[in-house]
Amino acid sequence: MLPVLLKRKVLTFRNALLGLRGWKLVKNLLFAGVGLMMLAALYGGFWRLLNYLEGVELIGPMLSWKLTSMVLLMTFSMVIVSSIIISMTTLYYSFDLKFLFSTPLDLRAVFLDKALETVFYSSWTLILAILPYIIALGRIKGLDAGFYLAYAFLMAPFVMLAGAVGIFFSMLVMYLFPSSKTRDITWLLGSLSVAFVYVIFRFSKPEKLLRPDSLEIVAQYIQYLQSPTAPYMPSWWVTKAMVAYSAGNWAAFAVSAGVLCAAAGALYLLLYALAGRLYMRGFSGAQSSPRFKGRRDTLPEQRLAARWPGLRAYLTLYWKDRLSLSRDARYWSQIILIGALIAVYLFSIRQLPLDTADLRSMVSFLNIGVAGFVMAAIGLRFTFPAVSLEGSSYWLLKSAPITTAAVMREKLLVSLLPSLLVGFLLITVSNHLLGADLFVSVLSTFTILVAALAISVMGIGFGAVFPDFNVENIHQLESSYGGFLYMATAMGYLALLLGIEAWPVHMHFSERMGRPNPWDLRGLALCAGLFVALNAAALYLPWKAGARNLERHEV
């Protein structure tokens, strides 16, 4: 039974590749090219890091292998958390499950098919992310092509073990608490785990281990470097096998690889045996819909609509979006991750080794671009999908007595306030931590507020230009061509914004350094005109294109 299901996936993938034509093919090639460029950049960074570590006297080789074991341990942990979240969807809420259960297929075969799908979706991005590290490690160690083949062989049971842990947890939780709310709680716990690991790792200041002035301290821990990192975890088994291969110790390599494969086989046999007893009960309970108790008191939107009847349509749409936000745990899980991102961002700003006041003020100005990138990334998750998330109910909006522009304006108002809040928080706290001067502080605060408005408008506009009302997973929207174009446009806008303001900032620092007559009024007027023109284009063009496209869109 399982080979039939796997063959279905292979044929689906093959047909998708054969169906690439014209602009669709160009778009995918463009995405692939950008991805290869990012992997190449990661490879360059990892190569420089490992080359530096390998050159450290006495402890260099041990440092690189210790770092490898830590990287694999973190990867294993992240795959477990990812598989917990993804398995809730693939095992219990996948769109094709009802069809598969109606066919004469064995229950355990369907479970294994979805389990392998979970392992793939929870691990492929992480495996790609550490691939440049492994390539750089093999080059630094002077290993042959067989090392990479051995690594590929080891990673199969490695990710299957990590995925199996997450699948077992999800299956057990859904069996004990068979309810659709269990998925929401699991998403929240998974997001809290990711945020906790991310914050703790950054607050541990790992950069101290790479500073030359701290290497004398690290050298005192040779015994620590030689000791295993989490010896009972599969990450250490993979590290031992890779060390054994590099040393030509084939017996040790076979032992470590055998333990890894045996553990993966035993765990999947256990899952296969338990699936017949646990899986169907969890699936049945997951299909129940949560009950929301209605409130009899007057809603705040109703009171405002009674006072201002002209805003009734906007307030009704806002009420709908507010309920969707409060009921969907996916939004709250993303808010937890955003909170962790902001905490790490501000902590990193505080740790910058800046000595002079002018240098701190310059970094505060350049910080506009970094804060803008954070806002654009958040907008890609919340603002850009806002129109598409109407889904199959979009026809209700089309048939309602409300214009498309009004729908877009309501979506903008919902997402604009959080964007303004995040941008203002990042810039003002960063300026305070850096001790920026008054001119740079005022300029950066004003600029980030304008950029928050422009980036939010671009998010709604591009989301309306590239709507997908049949999307099953919000991550498909983020990785779509429209999402890529939105991020590219936002990055271009921020780069032009900094370029326009660089001239007035240059005049400001020239005055601080004592240069006579640093201010050029004509230059200031030109920069002001370019600033207004850039923001007018960013506000008008995406918005107009999105409204026009939605007007023509047929439900």
Scanning 287-356, the segments in alpha helix (DSSP H) are 300-307, 312-327, 329-350
The mean pLDDT value for 90-102 works out to 81
Top-confidence range, 384-393, 415-424, 466-475, 534-543: 534-543
The mean pLDDT value for 224-253 works out to 80
Question: What gap in Å lies between CA 5 and CA 100, rounded to an integer?
Answer: 10
Confidence (pLDDT) at 289? 56
Confidence (pLDDT) at 357? 81
Task: Name the residue type at position 163.
Answer: G
DSSP letter at 43 equals H
Is the pLDDT reported for residue 214 higher than 60? Answer: no
Q: How confident is the model at residue 78 (pLDDT cuts 50, 70, 90)?
A: confident
Whose structure tokens read 């096998």? 241
Q: How confident is the model at residue 190 (pLDDT cuts 50, 70, 90)?
A: low
Is the pLDDT reported for residue 301 higher than 80? Answer: no
Q: Is the dihedral of CA 402, 540, 454, 24 positive or negative?
A: positive
Q: How confident is the model at residue 366 (pLDDT cuts 50, 70, 90)?
A: confident
Residue by residue, DSSP assigns 426-457 as HHHHHHHHHT--HHHHHHHHHHHHHHHHHHHH
Phi-psi category of residue 520: left, alpha or beta, with phi > 0 → left and psi -120 to 50 → alpha = beta
With CA atoms as reference, report the closest residue to 434 among 372, 357, 509, 370: 357
Question: What gap in Å lies between CA 526 and CA 422, rounded to an integer?
Answer: 30
Q: How confident is the model at residue 509 (pLDDT cuts 50, 70, 90)?
A: confident
Confidence (pLDDT) at 476? 63
Domain boundaries, the chain: 2-286, 303-552
Q: How confident is the model at residue 326 (pLDDT cuts 50, 70, 90)?
A: low
Question: What gap in Å lies between CA 199 and CA 176, rounded to an integer?
Answer: 31
DSSP letter at 392 equals G
Question: What gap in Å lies between CA 221 and CA 302, rounded to an integer?
Answer: 66
Confidence (pLDDT) at 442? 92
Q: How confident is the model at residue 327 (pLDDT cuts 50, 70, 90)?
A: low
Token pair for 51: 């080359």
Is the pLDDT reported for residue 169 higher than 90? Answer: no
249-258 long-range contacts, Cβ below 8 Å, gap at least 24? 253/150, 257/153, 257/154
Question: What gap in Å lies between CA 515 and CA 517, rounded to an integer?
Answer: 7
With CA atoms as reference, report the closest residue to 79 among 122, 50, 131, 25: 122
Tell me how many degrees the CA angle 391-394-395 measures, rounded to the nearest 5.
135
Question: What gap in Å lies between CA 77 and CA 396, rounded to an integer?
Answer: 43
Is the pLDDT reported for residue 453 higher than 90? Answer: yes
Q: Is the dihedral of CA 518, 521, 523, 529 positive or negative?
A: positive
Confidence (pLDDT) at 525? 93
Is the pLDDT reported for residue 66 higher than 90? Answer: no
| C-alpha pair distances (Å), 529 with each of 524, 525, 548 | 9, 6, 28
Quick one: angle between helices 404-434 and 357-382, nearest 10? 150
Residue 149, classified by CB atoms within 10 Å of its CB into exposed (0-12), middle (13-18) or buried (19+), is: exposed
Scanning 435-554, the segments in alpha helix (DSSP H) are 438-465, 474-478, 481-512, 521-552
Number of CB atoms found within 10 A of residue 538's CB: 24
Q: How confident is the model at residue 215 (pLDDT cuts 50, 70, 90)?
A: very low
Mean pLDDT of all residues belonging to the chain: 80
Whose structure tokens read 């590929």? 152
Q: What percent of the chain has pLDDT over 70?
A: 81
Q: How confident is the model at residue 296 (pLDDT cuts 50, 70, 90)?
A: low
Top-confidence range, 36-40, 285-289, 363-367, 500-504: 500-504
With CA atoms as reference, report the closest residue to 452 among 484, 412, 481, 504: 412
Q: Where are the beta strands (DSSP E) in 143-203?
A: none
Question: What gap in Å lies between CA 357 and CA 351, rounded to an integer?
Answer: 15
Confidence (pLDDT) at 526? 94
Backbone angles phi, psi at 21, to 5 degrees: -140, 150
Top-confidence range, 94-103, 229-238, 290-299, 533-542: 533-542
Is the pLDDT reported for residue 19 higher than 50? Answer: yes
Is the pLDDT reported for residue 303 higher than 90? Answer: no
Please give the model's pTM, rounded to 2 decimal places.
Answer: 0.66
Backbone angles phi, psi at 227, to 5 degrees: -80, 155
Confidence (pLDDT) at 148? 92
Sequence length of the chain is: 555
Q: How confident is the model at residue 470 (pLDDT cuts 50, 70, 90)?
A: confident
Q: How confident is the model at residue 222 (pLDDT cuts 50, 70, 90)?
A: very low
